[in-house]
Amino acid sequence: MSDTQLTVTLSGGDVDDARAVVGALEGTFGPPQERPSDTDATVRMATFGGEGEGTGDGQADLRPLSEPVTVTVQGTPEAVRRASDALSRVFTARDEGAAAGDQEQERQLVLES
């Protein structure tokens, strides 16, 4: 797994909220391999991978979230740290805890505008 490999799971909010959160991460990780698209889903996913680096600040199309969104980021410790930092710069983030393994880490955040 490279340092930019990251899986993002989102619950709460609507598909536009999920897209706003993913957009906030693009400034750090570049475009995702998979974007949230299902308008009827209650849990959405996005994956970032490869060696791509983001080029922006992740705030180009920022819109307020319609309600709090719970986000779980999973990947290398460096990728999880970078994702948490990026989301905290764009949204009000409440850290709900982390779990660490040998090579992967998982962190849960609740985001609000």
Contacts with 99 (C-beta within 8 Å, 6 or more apart), sequence order: 105, 106
Token code pair at residue 73 = 């980021």
Residue type, 47: T
**What number of H helices and E strands is found in the chain?**
2, 5
Under the banding of pLDDT at 50, 70 and 90, the label for residue 1 is very low
In contact, 24 and 58? CB cutoff 8 Å: yes
Does residue 20 carry a pLDDT above 60? yes
For residues 26-45, give the mean pLDDT.
Answer: 88
CA 39/CA 16 separation, integer angstroms:
9
> pTM, whole model, 2 decimals?
0.87
Spell out where 5-81 has E strands: 6-11, 43-48, 69-75
Residue type, 9: T
pLDDT single digits (tens) 38-87: 778 899 999 998 555 655 555 555 789 999 999 999 999 999 999 999 99
